[in-house]
Amino acid sequence: MDRRKFLGLSLKTSALLALAACGKSSTATPTTGISITGPTATPNPSQPPSSPSPSPTTVPSASPTVSVVSTPIATQVSGAATPSVLGVLRWANTGISEPSSIDPANPKDAQSILIINLVFSGLVKLNEKLEVVPDAAESWKVSKDGTVYTFKLRTGLKYADGSECTAEDFAYAINRALTPTTQSFAAPFQLQDILGAKDVASGKAKEAKGVRVIDKQTLEITLERPIAYFLDLMTFPYSFAAPRKLVESGKDWTNKAFGTGPFRIKEWKHNQSMTLEPNPYYWQGKPQINIQMPFIQNSETAYQLYQTGQLDITGGGQDGIPAQEIPNVKGKPDYKEVPALAVRYIGFNNKLKPFDNVHVRRAFAFATDRNTLAEKVLGGTVHATDRILPQGIPGSDLPVKGLEYDPDKAKQELKLAGIDPSSINVTLAYGQEGDNERVVEALQSMWQTNLGVKVNLQPMELGTFSKNLDVTRENPTKGLQFYLSIWGADYPDPQNFLSQQLQTESPNNNGHWSNKKFDELTEKADIMSASSQFKERLRLYNQAEQIAINEVGWLPLYNPLVTALIRPSVKGLVLTGQGIMAPDWSKVTV
């Protein structure tokens, strides 16, 4: 699901759109993260960016210096500035009938992470320019060798129940995410570079040696090696604090979850909706709204509810405005779009026939007409791509040679595979969200026509699809044969798309693709400096991406847009390549 400025490596390529306070019509323009009302620039993601000038709410590039202190905690809990009757923001969470997990230690999909980010918070977060800035920590410093991070928490930081949140809470969060009994599918991989993390993940230790509480307000994290994207990792939920007493109160603790984020759960009607109320102790100030969030599996349904005045927001995530409806709303004041840092792709189970054969995978790639898919099936609402890195990720402007549409080459690859096309009978699984049905039907037609194979379609409710991906990863012989999926950036670095998705030992490698040279290149690039070794690091990732393209570790299809409908009466939100966010939730009004 996705952003940011790392240790000297900032993404200045994500488009953002400030939602106009007066409701004027705006057009999303790719910029360097500056509001569209200001000057724009043409980004070059493969050039090391200069650090932005520090301001009261941003820190300079993470270097061996102390960061700038951010905005102090708001002292007001109630008062004249807070309306006696809160507004209600009706925000559709589309693509699901129920969140899979809102435990920050074990997020599984973008829809769940949307809720997690509203309820909990981490040491650092992303601002509207997708840069890492202070959150629960007001500042930090980094050792000269880049392996020790010392975070200073805000004075007076509190949970939504008024209890104190300390460095011990964040240490507990990290260790809990790593602990085997938590069964976090990716935290052990995401946090593996913390000293001692592997011992906790394997059950050999209860606490990571590299996570040390200095005092109530100071947390020290030591890494086994310097990694360019560590602060970006810390914006993901695995390290978000939750009260230990609440977490250990029972398996259903998330039903009334609260943290140090802007909201807390007031009511959760399972398989229906969730109501969020303000955290009166939120450090930026108490929000002025409640959030009513219905779970709506079908984006077309959400669109119709918006059109009939029953929603204030729909879209804004991986499940946006239905493609067929965009011509009806494009250009209107409430329609917003920006390029997403995401790629929709076909994943193959390399442990099952026939996709254990590279020539079969290449045949399917050559038989895929991406341009027809993007322009005719989806009406030009996406950008066709034959590469893994989406536009805007550093390294995405370095050239690769994709497997372009060529039915003759597709047939040749099947001959090289030594397989009679008529003997191939495969099943493509997909989650029932957005335009997926139209996409898979088009792909089915292409492959059957160009290859002479039989392709069956297997639709699944999104939560069921996610669980089946888990099975595919953990027990591939009983998993999906191949599937339509999407990956959106957790942070804007090629490591998040290449190493985390396709390295042999990555828990995100659902298709079990493996290539020794790819692993060597990405493992080397992962630990290189994002500043002094910027170009060489991207060069290695570029070589690795070419290998994955040639062997079809993934079959990339297109880069989607983030699309949303947001009523002009809603003020204070921003749409970025990662979705909808608020620079300051205490200033959001309806």
Distance CA 256, CA 289 (A): 18
Per the domain annotation, does 492 fall within a domain?
yes
Which pLDDT value is given to residue 391? Answer: 87
Contact 279, 258 (CB under 8 A): yes
Angstrom distances, CA of residue 231 to CA of 34, 55, 65, 215, 363: 22, 18, 14, 21, 40
Per the domain annotation, does 552 fall within a domain?
yes
What does the buried/exposed string (b/e) look like for 26-41 if buried means 16 or more CB atoms within 10 Å of the residue's CB?
bebebbbbeebeeeee
Q: What are phi and psi of 492, to 5 degrees?
A: -80, 75
Strands, E assignment, 154-283: 211-215, 218-222, 263-269, 273-278
Distance CA 434, CA 323 (A): 8
Q: How many CA atoms lie within 13 A of 263 on its CB side?
A: 26
Are 67 and 205 members of one domain? yes
What the block records as the tokens of 376 is 């005719």
- Of 427, 503, 510, nearest to 468 by C-alpha is 510
Contact 479, 472 (CB under 8 A): yes
Are 278 and 346 members of one domain? no
Chain mean position to CA 535? 25
Distance CA 559, CA 461 (A): 23
Per the domain annotation, does 160 fall within a domain?
yes
Are 432 and 500 members of one domain? yes
| CATH number of the domain to which 363 belongs | 3.10.105.10
Are 383 and 256 members of one domain? no
Are 493 and 357 members of one domain? yes
Per the domain annotation, does 14 fall within a domain?
no
256 CB burial (10 A radius; 0-12, 13-18, 19+):
middle
Are 260 and 374 members of one domain? no
Per the domain annotation, does 32 fall within a domain?
no
- DSSP 3-state percent helix, strand, coil across the chain (nearest 5): 30, 20, 50
Per the domain annotation, does 532 fall within a domain?
yes
Global pTM exceeds 0.85 = no
pLDDT per position in the chain (590 positions), as tens? 333 322 222 333 333 333 433 333 333 333 223 222 222 233 345 555 433 333 333 333 333 343 434 444 433 333 334 455 789 999 999 988 999 999 999 998 889 999 999 999 999 998 888 789 999 999 999 998 889 999 999 999 999 999 999 999 999 999 999 999 999 988 998 899 999 999 999 999 999 999 999 999 999 999 999 888 899 899 999 999 999 999 999 999 999 999 999 999 999 999 999 999 999 999 999 999 999 999 999 999 999 999 999 999 999 986 789 988 999 999 999 999 998 899 999 999 999 999 999 999 999 999 999 999 999 999 888 999 999 999 889 999 999 999 999 999 999 999 999 999 999 999 999 999 888 999 999 999 999 999 999 999 999 998 899 889 988 888 999 999 999 999 988 888 899 999 999 999 998 899 999 999 999 999 999 988 777 788 999 999 999 999 999 999 999 999 999 999 999 999 999 998 888 999 999 999 99
Final residue of a structural domain among 239, 269, 285: 285
Q: What are phi and psi of 177, to 5 degrees?
A: -60, -30
Are 398 and 249 members of one domain? no
Q: Give the DSSP per-residue string, 526-545.
A: HTS-SSTTHHHHHHHHHHHH
Neighbour tally for 46: CB within 10 Å? 16
| CATH number of the domain to which 184 belongs | 3.40.190.10
Are 214 and 361 members of one domain? no
Which pLDDT value is given to residue 34? Answer: 22
Rg of the chain (C-alpha set): 23
Which pLDDT value is given to residue 16? Answer: 37
Final residue of a structural domain among 261, 285, 309: 285
Are 281 and 347 members of one domain? no
How many domains, the chain? 2
Look at the block and give the residue holding tokens 């012989």: 477
Which pLDDT value is given to residue 45? Answer: 54
Are 262 and 370 members of one domain? no
| Cα dihedral 276→162→78→258 (10° resolution) | -10
Are 504 and 372 members of one domain? yes
User: Angle 500-555-442 (CA atoms, 0-180°, nearest 5)?
Assistant: 135
Which pLDDT value is given to residue 40? Answer: 29
Q: Report cis status (omega within 30 of 0) of the bond before 354.
A: yes
Per the domain annotation, does 190 fall within a domain?
yes
Which pLDDT value is given to residue 47? Answer: 54
Tell me the residue range of the domain where 108 lies.
Answer: 57-77+94-285
AA identity, residue 70: S
Are 130 and 223 members of one domain? yes
Per the domain annotation, does 517 fall within a domain?
yes
Distance CA 379, CA 373 (A): 8
What the block records as the tokens of 293 is 């969030």
Final residue of a structural domain among 270, 285, 300: 285
